[in-house]
């Protein structure tokens, strides 16, 4: 099926007389006739549900739609995008292991890896996404277990050369995880370029209305864990906490990753999305393909207007020919990138503050990628834990304004931006 059709109808096919909309299974638990029936579920010998901390039917229907959209083999929802990235990484890494990550990733993920996971004994090396193959190669260590990047980084808007990163990861016998939040599978499917695991903050375009927090993890089903069994004991040796199951043997390349993350990590950490949130996420997904076109058109119109304005020092938008990421965008994002544009005002940090205060349609919010246009100065909010040097390395200098173009008329958005720029 075409991606547009999957957005509308994927993940759930009602039978005769069943609800047209996906049912909200608002239940923590599920009833069984015998202890033996339930035992088979606990042994992962039968499919079914026993407790919504691990799995819930509504969540699984929505995960299945996202899985179909990405072209993966298995998927799960999580309570947030942060949870998705943490569980995707922690499913592969333990104390003593090492991660190679793009330096321009989302501030929350940067903190997760560089501060919180470090406390767990997991270290990381960050690389410039435009680094050479040799520089990328030099970042690996014998204990490297995974490579991580974002298709379009939030808010730096760098575009990941997915093939280059996948090639380096595979040469070192480890998988590539790509956070595909900004383009969504409507505009890019990282599995087609060699990525092994895809993550999402579904809080952004997938929900698209600023209504529900959520995340998703999708497995492309191609990484051969058993061929690198020495690196991934969690997948390739018996899990004593699960009656000695070896995930990679029992569930194969297609299912091992998500089964382990569900059976082990959700059991122990419990960050499943609520069925009500999953239902609302699905409402967003039904129009994702239509909304992405407008977000991209508005992003492009605003980027072009800003680029031509004398008070604007520079504009980051990979759709612009002036962007150093334009060639990568043509390759990986031929139908458009996203509605998020970032730019620096010639007047620096102070001009950014005046500009944002004067906007009438665009609200100041710690959010991106919903129906209403919003903007943010990362240096004074999401990235405020970073010093100027780190800000520059992360691609978010102090004067940078991130604007997430919503679904309004582009003429109204540009008129609002123009009047705010006039006030500087």
Ligand X SMILES: *Cc1c(COP(=O)(O)O)cnc(C)c1O
Cβ nearer to ligand X, comparing 81 with 234: 81
Structure tokens at 64: 């299945």
Q: Measured from the CB atom, is 117 or 248 closer to ligand X?
A: 117
- The residue at minimum Cβ distance from ligand X is 81
Selected from 82, 103, 298, 382, the binder of ligand X by CB under 6 A is: 82
Tell me how far, at minimum, the Cβ of 258 lies from ligand X, in Å.
19
Rounded CA-CA distance 54/118 in Å is: 26
Six-digit token pair at 367? 């959010």
State how far the Cα of 346 lies from the Cα of 15, in Å rounded to an integer. 59
Phi then psi dihedrals of residue 332, to 5 deg: -95, -20
Q: Token digits for 34?
A: 């015998």
Strand partners, 376: 402
The single residue among 55, 91, 144, 181 that binds ligand X, judged by CB under 6 A, is: 181
DSSP for 175-233, written as a single string: -EEEE-TTTHHHH--GGGGT-SEEEEETTTTTT-SS----EEEEE-S---GGGGTTT-H
* Whether the Cβ atoms of residue 204 and residue 179 lie closer than 8 Å to each other: no
User: Which among 67-75, 79-87, 249-257, 403-411 is the span making contact with ligand X, rule CB under 6 A?
Assistant: 79-87
Of 117, 181, 121, residue with least CA distance to 149: 181
Q: Of 405, 402, 243, whose CA–CA distance to 336 is shortest? A: 405
Query: Binding pattern to ligand X, positions 89-128, x when CB under 6 A?
Result: -----------------x-xx-------------------
| Residue 81 touching ligand X (CB under 6 A) | yes
Instruction: Give the end-to-end CA distance of the chain in Å, rounded to a whole number.
Output: 50
67, 89, 212, 213: residue in contact with ligand X (rule CB under 6 A) = 213
Binding status of residue 203 toward ligand X by CB under 6 A: yes
Does 215 participate in binding ligand X (rule CB under 6 A)? yes
Which residues between 227 and 256 bind ligand X (CB under 6 A)? none
Whether the CA torsion 245, 251, 253, 254 is positive or negative: it is negative
Q: Which is nearer to ligand X, 100 or 213 (CB)?
A: 213
Residue 154 within binding range of ligand X, rule CB under 6 A: yes
Site size toward ligand X, by CB under 6 A: 16
Query: Beta-carbon neighbour count of residue 383 at 10 Å?
Result: 22
Based on CB atoms, which residue is closest to ligand X, 179 or 416? 179
- Binding to ligand X by residue 373, rule CB under 6 A? no
Binding status of residue 70 toward ligand X by CB under 6 A? no
Q: Least Å distance between CB 189 and ligand X?
A: 16
Q: Helix or strand or coil: residue 6?
A: helix
CA distance 136 to 344: 29
- Kindly tell me which of 154 and 373 has the beta carbon lying closer to ligand X: 154
Least CB distance to ligand X at residue 91 (A): 16
Pairwise CA distance, residues 128 & 373, whole Å: 30
Q: Which of 58, 80, 282, 373 binds ligand X (CB under 6 A)?
A: 80
How far apart are CB 83 and ligand X at their closest, in Å? Answer: 7
Residue 404 contacts residue 374 (beta carbons within 8 Å): yes
Within 10 Å of residue 8's Cβ, how many Cβ atoms?
A: 15
CB-wise, 264 or 404, nearer to ligand X?
404
Query: Interacting stretch for ligand X, rule CB under 6 A, among 52-60, 200-208, 320-328, 395-403?
Result: 200-208
Nearest-CA neighbor of 2 among 52, 63, 85, 68? 68
State in angstroms the smallest separation of the CB of 231 from ligand X.
25
CB of 119 to ligand X, least distance (A): 19
Nearer to ligand X, 123 or 273 (CB): 273
Q: Which of 60, 70, 97, 179 binds ligand X (CB under 6 A)?
A: 179
Bridge partners (DSSP) listed for residue 150: 179
Nearer to ligand X, 41 or 112 (CB): 112
Measured from the CB of residue 376, what is the shortest distance to ligand X in angstroms? Answer: 12
H or E element, residue 104: none
Output the smallest distance, CB 156 to ligand X, in A: 10
Q: Which CB, 109 or 184, lies closer to ligand X?
A: 109
Least separation in angstroms between CB 204 and ligand X: 6
Distance (Å, rounded) from C-alpha 2 to C-alpha 23?
24
Which residues bind to ligand X, rule: CB under 6 A?
Answer: 80-82, 85, 106, 108-109, 150, 154, 179, 181, 201, 203-204, 213, 215
């Amino acid at each position: 099926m075409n991606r547009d059709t999957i957005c509308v109808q994927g993940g759930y096919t009602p039978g005769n007389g069943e609800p047209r909309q996906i049912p909200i299974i608002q239940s923590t638990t599920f009833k069984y006739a015998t202890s033996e029936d339930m035992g088979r579920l606990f042994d992962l010998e039968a499919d079914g549900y026993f407790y919504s901390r691990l799995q819930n039917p509504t969540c699984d229907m929505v995960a299945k739609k996202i899985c179909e959209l990405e072209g993966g083999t298995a998927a799960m929802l999580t309570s947030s995008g942060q949870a998705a990235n943490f569980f995707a990484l922690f499913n592969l890494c333990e104390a003593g292991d090492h991660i190679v990550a793009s330096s321009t990733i989302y501030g929350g993920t940067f903190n997760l890896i560089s501060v919180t996971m470090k406390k767990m004994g997991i270290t990381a090396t960050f690389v410039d996404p435009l680094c050479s193959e040799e520089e990328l190669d030099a970042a690996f260590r014998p204990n490297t277990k995974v490579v991580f990047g974002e298709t379009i980084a939030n808010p730096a808007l760098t575009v990941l050369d997915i093939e280059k990163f996948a090639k380096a990861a595979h040469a070192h016998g480890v998988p590539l995880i790509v956070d595909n939040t900004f383009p969504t599978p409507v505009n890019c499917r990282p599995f087609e370029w060699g990525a092994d695991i895809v993550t999402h903050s579904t809080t952004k375009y997938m929900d698209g209305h600023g209504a529900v927090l959520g995340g998703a993890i999708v497995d492309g089903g191609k990484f051969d864990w058993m061929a690198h069994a020495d690196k991934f004991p969690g997948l390739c040796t018996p899990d004593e906490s699960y009656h000695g199951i070896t995930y990679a043997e029992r569930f194969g390349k297609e299912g091992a990753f998500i089964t382990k993350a569900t059976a082990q990590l959700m059991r122990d950490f419990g960050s499943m999305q609520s069925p009500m949130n999953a239902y609302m996420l699905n409402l967003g997904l039904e129009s994702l393909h239509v909304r992405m076109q407008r977000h991209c058109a508005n992003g492009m119109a605003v980027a072009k207007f800003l680029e031509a304005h004398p008070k604007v020092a520079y504009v980051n938008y990979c759709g612009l020919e002036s962007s150093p990421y334009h060639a990568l965008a043509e390759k990986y994002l031929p139908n458009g990138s996203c509605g998020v544009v970032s730019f620096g005002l010639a007047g620096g940090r102070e001009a950014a503050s005046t500009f944002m205060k004067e906007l009438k349609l665009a609200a100041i919010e710690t959010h991106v990628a919903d129906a209403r246009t919003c903007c943010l100065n990362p240096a004074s909010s999401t990235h405020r834990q970073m010093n100027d040097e780190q800000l520059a390395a992360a691609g978010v200098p102090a004067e940078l304004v991130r604007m997430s173009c919503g679904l309004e008329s582009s003429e109204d958005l540009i008129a609002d931006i123009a009047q705010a720029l006039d006030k500087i």
